[in-house]
Every structure is written in C-alpha cells, then in structure tokens.
Structure 1
Amino acid sequence: MARPIAGDSPMIQPPYQAPQSGVPVPVVTSPFNYTNQPNIPGPVVVGTPTPLGLLNAFRRRWVLSTFIGGLVAVAVAVGIWLALPAGKHQARALVQLQPKQVEFVNKTQEDFEAYRRHQMFLLKTRDVLTRVLADPAVSSLDTIKQSEDPVSMLEDTIRVTVAAPEILEVTLTGNNIEDMKVILDHVVRRYVDDATAIDRKQRDDQIAALETTLTSIERELKEQKSKLELAGRTNGTTGAEATSNALALLQKRHIEADALFVAAGREIEKAEAELKVLQKQLEDKDPKTPPDQAIVAQLVAADVRVKTAKSAYTARKEYADKEAAKATNPDIDDGITKLRAEVKKLETEVKEAEKLAATEAIEVARAIDTAKKKKRVEELAYSIEVKKGEREGHRLEREGLQRVIATTAAGGLSIEEERKNLQPQREMHDKIQTQLIQLRIAAQQSGRVSARGGAEKIPNNNQNKKIVMSSAGGFVSFFGVILLVSFLEWRSRRVDGVDQVVNELGMRVIGTVPAFPNRASLQAATEAGGANWRFVLNESINSTRTMLLHTAKAQAMQVVMVTSATQGEGKTSLASQLATSMATAGMRTLIVDCDLRNPSIMKLFELPLAPGVSEVLRQEVDVSDAVQATAVPNLWVIPAGHCSNATIAALAQGNPLKTLFNRLRGQFDFVIVDSCPVLPVADALLIAQHVDGVVFSIMQDVSQLPKVVTASEKLTQLNIQMVGAVVNGIKQDVYSYGYNYVKQLPA
C-alpha cells in the first residue's frame, strides 16, 4: 500500500507535532465485548462434516483430489479388468453317435464308451484340422490369417465333451464369433464325412468277410446234405429228404421275412422320430432357426419397392456421373452437389426399402418353411402308414411260416435226428445271413455319426461385465478419493466463508475484503483498460472503515489493534488498507508496526529503515523522532525498528507501551496497530491490553476454526474488547454486494 488506493496524488505531510502539554490523553475504558452480545451466538465449531463443508473443502483441494482420484481410479479400473476372467465368445455344435446295430458272430458286445472316447479323439486330430484349414472358406477368415499357427490354435480352443450318452458337444472359443461358427461348421462336417466314410468301409469289409464265411458254411452244409441224401437212399428214407429240404426252404424264407419285419420296424421308428421333430418345430411359436437366406434374398430382390428404388437410384446416379464428368470442377458445382445429395438420398431409400422388404421376406420365408414342414409331415404320416402295412404283412408271413415249419416238423421226419450234427453249422449260417441282411439294410441308411444341425453362436457377455465393473470401480474409487481428500481437508477446519464466522465462531463481521486476482488476471484486466477489482477493494475497505469508525465512536475507541490467529491471514494488509482508507477520508491516521519480530509495514510503504517502536520501548528515541510520513496524505507510520530481548522485556513491562499510546492519542484521529499473530508468541496479548479494541483478521480457506477460537478466547479471557472480524480473500461473485455498480470517478 505504497500509494493511495483512490488515486490521490502524494502530498507533503506536515511534520509530527508532539503534544504541547505533554499530558497523556485519558483512556476511556469501554465495557463493549462482542462475545457477550445477546444476539450473536458463541463459538460452536461443528464436529461432524456437512455436505457444504465437504464441498468447500473439495473446492480448496480440487486439483489434488482429482489428480489422485484419477490415478487411483485408473489403477482400480485396470486391476478389476485384469482380475476378472477374459471374455471369449463361443460357437457350439452337437454330434450324434449311434450304437452298433449289428453284432458279429463270436464277438462280444461293443464297448460304446470306448467307441465314444475314440470318436472324441478323432474329432480334433491334426489331420482333420489341417484339411479344414486347407478349405478356402476357412483359410480366408481373419482369425486364421492373424494366427501364427492355426492348427495349434484350433487344438487349444476346440473342446469336445459328453453332453448326453450318445451326444458329443463340440465348442470353439475366440473373439470373432462369426469366424468361429464357420470354422466349427467345417470341422464338424469334415469329421462326420470322415467318420461316415470309415464306417462305410468297415461295413463293406464286414459284408465281404461274412459273405466269404457264409459261402464256406453253405459248401459244408451242401456236402453234408449230399451225404445224408446218399444215406437216405441207401436206407430207403427218401421222403425224409424231401421233408428236410422243405424245412430248410421254409426256415430260409422265415429268416428273410423276420429280417424284413425288423427293417420295416426301424424305418417306422426313424420316420416317427423325424415326424416328432417336425411337429415340435411346427408347434414352436417362436422358432430360433433362421429361415433360408437364399429365399429371403430372392424375395427381397423381387420386391417391387426395392426394384423401383434401385431403378430410380441407378438412373439418377448415372445422370449425376455424366453431369459431373461434364463439369469443370464438380466438387464446387452447386448443381453437381445437389445431384449427389439426391443420389445419396435415393441410396438411403434403397437401403430402407431393402430393410423393409427383408423384414417381410423373413416372415414369407418362415411361412414357406412351415409349409414345407407341413408337407413333409403329411408325407411321413403316409409313409408310416404304408410301412406299418408292410411290417404287418411281414409279420403275418413270418407267423405263417412258423406254423408251417411247426407242422412240417411235427410230421415226424426221422431224418432230422440224423441231421442234429448239422445244427451248429445251420445256426451259424442263419446268424451270418441275418447279419448280412442287417448290414445291407444299414448300408442304405446314414452312418453312425451325424451332426445335429449347424453350429450355434453363444455370445459371451463377460466382456460387457468387465467394462461395467471396471468403470464402476473406477468411478467409485475416483469419488471415494475425492471424498477422502475432502474429509481430510475438512478436518483442518478452515474457514469457508462469512456465514461460518458468524454461525460457528460467533464473531461479528464488520467487513470483507475480496481476494486479490493472480498476476496474469491482473495484467490482462489492466491491458483491457479495466480494474474493477480495485473498485471492489476500495469499497469493501471503505465499508469496513465505516463499520469500524461507527463502533469506535460509540465506544470511544481511538487505538485499534489488528491481529490474527496465525501468520499469513492478511492482518498487515488489512491494517495498511484500513489506515489508507481513513487517511483518504481526511482523518489524521497513524500505523504503528508492533509486529516486532517480523515487521513488514516499511516494505509496504517503501520507507527507509529507521528507528521505531523497539527503540521507543527501550527509550532510545523519542516518539516524535520515530514517526515517518508516507506518500498518502494524512497517513503516518511508526515502523517496528530493531527488535531485541530488551525490546520484548520492555513490552512485557507494559508501561513504555502504555505511555507510547497515550502520547499518540492526542496527535492523531485514529491509530491502527499492526501486531503479531496471537498464537505463536505472547506479544499480541501484551499489546492488546493497552489498545481500545481489537479487529480480528480471518483469511477464507486459510484460517482454521479451532485456532481462531483459541486465539479469540485468549483475548476474551484478558477482557480485551473485540470490535469484530474482517474476512479476507472473499470471491467477488460471492460477497461483492453489487460493487460492479461503482464506476471510476474523475480525479
């Protein structure tokens, strides 16, 4: 404050005149003590955080809290992302295995579990996978192209498990679900084809082996038959031979009728199973199987709206291209731009028409598919009835042959006794013949391995879960850190604003001082020709001066000390500003720098180093010699001087300081004493006992409530009058009280 705030030009101050009488002006003791006023609450420091208190604490530490919160949030989000299992999509296909239908002679029953394990091994052999990868439809996929070793990748990602006793579940995991479906479809198809080919070859080999064995047995039986015929002719038993031949023929016909009966029954079972599946699909109101895409594409292409839209788009595009070719610079030609916009619009209409037609085509395709299924159901029902009739005919024929065989055997052909030795060969012959019939019937049917539909896609939502959990963890940790930093800052109990000073500290606020703008903002405002903050500062100080003078007049105060709880709370700036404001208002004002240990008034007013209060207390100089004039009219300063232990001892005695203030009262209208803070040292308490009142300086966002309470209680316990508090560092948009209304006046 080296210059008048209002812009007054510096004037030559009259020299300080000591009182002629030398008699000190009597001190008027005032009973005013603000803490005893009935309308103002006493100090009530809130012990629990409030939302407003936390918000103000965050405002003070928002840079630190957001920075730490951001780091913690990123760390937590990354940690959760790495901790959660990786999200992989899955494609799944089902493979049907059939038990062995034909058991060989002299062979044990098939171990189906071993057969199933064998098929599970064959399904993912490198031979199958290599041939699948050789297919252009598979090798062109991005998943295969991006893999360094596709065969090893498929071996690691394909899993074969038992879903049911006769059903294998084949799964393939990865990130590209469309590619996985294509790959799995080809793997299953290749495996089924290989298994069917192997099964067919094994069946052909078995048929050939059985036919060879059957031929050998028939040759043996024929030889035995010739021997029996010879023996019969020798013994005269030719009738028995005819009976034996008839029985053999009947047994053969019986075996064939029985095989046809069994085959018809299996065909009926197969048709009934297919019929049951189709009926279930027809009953399903919400089919999951998509319709035939080829039919959908044909319906969309044949749609009148699509054709019309495409025709209009093609014609307009050709016309636009021709016009663009003619134009010199088509990119800036308005006409060409308009034509291209029309083409773009027509293209959008084509896509919308195709989308609408596709929606309708899907329903039509589903209807066509349903009609086909219904037709197939009718065909299967008719086929089942026909097969049942055939089976019934075979049954009747078989039973009739059984009766004929029984009747013929009952004829008492004695030759049969002689043929008992041929019974094992005949049984073997019959079994082999039955097996051949069954194998030939099985050869006309599908293999033991078949695919149950195509591969289905199973999207994995774990990826979305990881994103949600990581984001939630990041947000929670971010706001948690902000809340923690705000709480720790709140625990420092810094003053948030004027309301807190009044409500929690119970102190009278006689004025507020706006926060000084930073250097960049101040320079920008000066360059722009505006200094509104200076007017706000002037008016806030003038308002505080008015309140102080009113109280001083009512309480007969002339010497007022400005102090604070701790250092850095704006007491020196407040004292200099109040003194300058009083001097500008025409009052003879004196600033006494009693901050003996850390003086700063001399620096503010740019005065030379000279003796001051310390020398006066030590009685080394007279008061009149310590007073110095400033550049501000009506404003004088007594500097702190050179402090020493003797100065502190003289201050503690009291009488030297009391004499100093008594001599000053008659020479100045008002004396402002800038003291040291209350809590660090006892100097302020010693000085306050010789002044008329104390103005307490509080810095918003810096002063701490417990320390302010402790300092004010120390002053109160010494019966020192508290004039009130001045809150520094107030934001202009909060407590400027409309100072923007003030305009700069001419000098």
Structure 2
Amino acid sequence: MSTKEDTSLDHSSNGQSLVVHQAAPLGVKDVDWGTVPGYATGGGAAPTDPATYLHAIRRHWLLAIVLGVMLAGLATAATWVLIPKKYTATAIIEVARDKDVIVFAEKAYNTPQEYEVFQNTQLQYVTTPAVLTAALRDQEVNSLPIVQREKADQIKWLKDELSVSFPRGAQIMEVSLSDVDPEQVTKVVEAVVDAYMTEIVERDRRLNDQKLADLQRVLNSRDAEIRNQQRLYERRVEELGTADKDTLILQNNLRMQQLGMFRNQLTRVQFDLRQYRSEFKAAEAALNRLNESPAIAVELETMRQKDPMCRDLEKQIAQLQQMLASQGNMARAGAETTLGSQLNDQMAMLQNQYNAHLAGLQMLIVEGKRVTLQETMADRALLAELAAAEEKSLEEEIAKLQEEFQTIGRSTVELDMLQMTLDDLKAVRTTVANKHEALKVEMGSLPRIRRGPPVQEPKTANNTELKYALSILAGLVGLVLPGFIVVRWDVHKQRVNSSDDVAKKLGLPVIGSVPVIPARAIKRLNAPSKASHQWNVRLAESIDGIAAKLLRNAALAKDRVVLITSAVSGEGKTTLATQVAMSLARAGKSTVLVDFDLRRPAIDKAFQLPLHPGVSEALCGEADVKTLAQPTGLAKLEVITAGRCDRHVLQALANGGDKRLFDELREAYDFVIVDGSPILPVADSRYLSQHVDSVLLSVFRDYSRMPKVTAAREILEAFGVRDVEAVVTSASEGGYGVVDMVAQTPQASA
C-alpha cells in the first residue's frame, strides 16, 4: 500500500487498484507494556527485544549518520577551539643529598630515608603561605592578568596550580606552573623561586651568620675574662714576692680541700633550692587551676563507676524510666492512671539526689587534690627555707675560709685556684674558637640547596596531545550520540516492526498482509508497463487473500458486515477498505462500500463521486439508505459516500442510528464494507463496532505504535466486539512468486 501523504487517490477505471492517503494521526496515551508479551514489565517501559533496536536502526540509519557526522564535526571543532593552549614554565633547584664538607666532617651524609624526609620538607616549604605571599608581594607579579583574575584567594589559587616535584632518582626539585600566557607563567615561577630562596634557603644562611656572631661575642667575652684572671694572678704573685708555693702547701692543703668541699656542697644546695622553689610554683599553679583540670572529670567518672551509692541510684533511675515508659504506653492506650505523676516526682527526687551525690564526690576529689597540693607547697616551702639557711651557712663558711686564706696571706692555694680558673677559661676559649673557625670555614662551602639555570619562557604548548585526544573523543561522542538518541526515541515510540509483533506481542490474529506501494509506483500504477502490472498483481493477490478469509467467515459465521478501521489515522484503513470491497466484487459478491469516516471522508474522492447525499443524510432520516448507493466502474460494487456531517449526524450516530442502516444494507447486499474513523481520536467507530459482524484493524509497519493498537483493541473489546482481526501493511511481506522486490522505506500510510 502507499506511503503517508495528504489525501491523494488513484482510481483505476478497470477496478484493479485504488490507493487512498490521509493525514497523520492524533496522539494518544500509551498503555501498560507490562501486559504485552515479550516486553519489559512496568508501565511505559521500553521494549527489551534486541530486534527492536535493529528495526529502529533500519528506519533511521541515514538520519543518524547525517546528524552524527554533522555533530561530530561541530563537537571536534568546538572542543579544539574551546580548550585553550597551556604553556608550562619550569624552574630547577638543585637539592644535594649530602652536605658539602671542606674540613670539619660532622654528620654530613644522609641515608635514603633521611634524604626523602628532607625532600618532602622542601616540597612543603615551596607552597607555604609565607613563600607564596612573598612571591605575590612583587608588584609586577601581582599585577599580571593571570593573578588579577583570581580576586577571591590568590594564595589558594597559586598553591593549587603550582606543581612541585622531585623527578625520580634526580637531586633536583622542579617548580612549574601552567597557563595560557607563557610570559606570565615564567614571571610567576621566577617570583616563587626567588621567594623560596629568600624566605627558606637564605634564612638558614642568616641563622648561620647569627650563630657565627654569637660565637664571636662568646669568644670576646672569654678573652676579657682570661685577661682579668691573668692580671689577678700576676698581682697575687707580686704581693707574695715569689711564685714558689712549696712553703705554703702543707699549711693550706687542708683548707683547700675544705673549700672545695664547701663549694661543691654550696652548688648542690643551690640546685636543690631552685628545684624546691620551682616545685612550689608548679604546685601553686596547679592549685589555681584545680577546678579547670580535666583530670577531675576522669577521676569523677572512675569514682562514679566504683561508688555503690551511684550504682544503686542509677539502677533505681533506670527502673523508674522503664515504669514511666510503661505508664506512657498505658496513657496512649486510653487507660486512666495517677501513678505517672508520682513516678515523675520520684524520678526528679532521685535525679536530684544523684546529681547532689555526684557533686559531693567531685567536691571530695577537688578537696583531696587541694589538700595534697597544699601539703606539697608547705613541704617545698619548708625544704626551700632549710636549703636557703644551709646556703647561707655554706656561704659564711666559704667566706670564712677565704678570709683565713687572706689572713694567712698570699696563699699558694689561692694561686693554684687562680691558675686552675685561668686554665679552665683558656680551655673554654679554645673550644669556642674551634667552633667559630669550623663554622666560618663551612659557611664558605657550596650550599646544599642551589638555584638552577634561569627559567626559560616556554615556546610550545604542553597540552596539544590532550587537545587532540579530547577533540577525537568529542567527535566520537558526537558521531554516536545522535544515533543513540534517534534509536532510543524510535524505540520509545514502540512501533510495529512486523506481522509477528501484531500476532505474538499484541495477540491480534493477522488475516493478511498488504505490500507497501512506493509513491512513484502509485503515480504509474495504471501505466501499461511490466512494473505497474506486477504491482497491480501483487496488490490484488494480497487483497484477494484477505477477501478469501472474509468469504470463509461469511460462510461459517454469517459475518457480512465488516468494519475496517485503525487505531489512529494514517494507517491505511481507507485504502484497505476500498481494495477489499473491490476484491469481493471481483469474486462475484454484491458489495457496498460505506464511508463512515464522517469527519474526514475520502471515498467520494477515490471514486470521483459527489459527497452528498450520503450516510449523514441517512442517519438524520433525510434519505433512504438504499437509494444512496452509487455505482462504480466495477460490477457488483456500489458506494455510499459520507455526506455532509454536522453535530446532529454525530448525535444520531451516538444514539444507534447506524443499526437501522446496517440492517437494511445486510438485506440488500452480500457484503457491507464499512470504512470507519480511527478508534482512538474519536468515538464514531466505537458506536459502529456494536452493530457490525467483525472488525478489521489496519496496522502499518514502521508507523503504527503497539500501545495504540493495543488500546484500540481494548476499546473495541470494551464495546462488546469479540472478533477483532488485523491486516498488516508491510514492505517486506507480500506476494509469492510475483516479482523480486527490494524493500522500500515507507513514508506514511493513509
């Protein structure tokens, strides 16, 4: 049969072919696909049969390819244009594994683990806020557009964008930044490296300078002490008149030993005195912070768990809570009780008692700690007082011994002490001098962290391969996406793909199939050519098969009034009705074709007959239906056109006026073929279905939608129709042995 177009008819004078076309259908709500065999359960679910997707691809492969190629080109070009080129500037900083040692070898070499820790420390240093703030403090860097565009938090932006790493196995640290402007990223990287060298690396050197200056001050101080001690020694020797100490050794050995013992004892007592005073202050501070100590809460919890009274009160409270819960359930159940308020009072009393007991326990803990701390303070104060008295006594003893030495005069012991002090000062001075010289020499060695060559401005973008990859990916997505969308859209429409869909999935008996006649063949259907003849023969054979089934039904069940309709318009019902009527007439049966599509009549144009008077006038009682039949060019076939339809006609149809017409036509003709309106958009054919013998549903492959066909069948069954059969119009199904056909893609059906 023909493809979908506006109303267009081809009427053969010899009665061999008649093709009718109508407009597209109106919409209708889909049915529950859980009731359709072979489809997923659940309302509105899409088919799960893989063949459905193959049919969708067959219908729309050219559209999918065209759209895919267009979208792929646009996506590839857009991705390539929208992804900006990025340039990466990289600075190199040498980070030696070991220190450079010139003379003094301390701990100069690092294990791999120590060097890894050192590397991680430097990585963190580079991205610290202090370094990044110092880098952005430069006005030239801060005024760069890539910095100015980050108004909210420039430090966070720089930290996120900056890449700092150690290449595997190399003793260098790479600091890099990527952006669209190579000159700007170079300046930012230079500023970050400068800030790192200044704030971190040079800081260590400044600390060494400070340490060297401190050692020099200590050295100068020791030189001054040595000079003073040397002058004192020389003055004593001058007072004695001799440096020979042999004459005084025996007299002063005892006093020298006593003096040394007293000095040692004085040192110990002074140390103990400082310790006692420090412990006293610590206890005093702890006493002042006693109520804030977290240890109180810990001890209170421990004491609560061990205290029998607390456990007993907690147990009573838990029991009362259970009783209150039971009272609450009874109250909700409607039981009147006064025990609830008593339990609440008892609960409050126990809770207050529990809290008071806890407060008492806490007070005991606090008071116990306070007493302990006060005892500690008293003990340390007493010990400090005793130590101070002992210190004073020792100082007096030492003073007395010194006075005795002075009294004895120019004692050898004093000279020995002066000599020993002088030797100690010289030894300390030698140690400080060695450290000063070692640090001074080592500061002249190569630094462990050294800046590499200047940062070179990048000349080529570093994301070209990424742009290629993303552009290709976007092109592939663009190529596939339209096809996916089109196929999904088509599958969602749930169209009829074959006669098997109608028979097996929709459960409708299929009594025949009609070939789709291409539009170009329709225009030359009556031409004296072999191709036109083959189309005529193929169409006639398929229609004759359907007519044979109707003849069989008429012989068995007296089904002579047949309503031919469809779910929606555009599914070939009018063409099917005319062809079936013509086939029955050729079979020698007196047949009348009745145009009951009152809203969109087409039979009058097909046979070039006047539209009225017709069915509409018969329904209103303005004409006798038997007198309305008009002859056609084919023997045994007459046509009753639709007439002029108005609201009175539709009201008469709804009131059952068609039954009288069908009774009269059944007596006058062997077959009454009724071209009805679509089932779903309007109710006309629903009324007709109650007064006909059988109903044929015209289904158009690749156009008809299975939910709508199912809905039409259910409506007919609801109106009492039990004999509903289907005829499928399909390009892949047709005559046997007539002509080798290549399937044409249908455009629509009438």
TM-score by length of 2: 0.46
TM-score by length of 1: 0.46
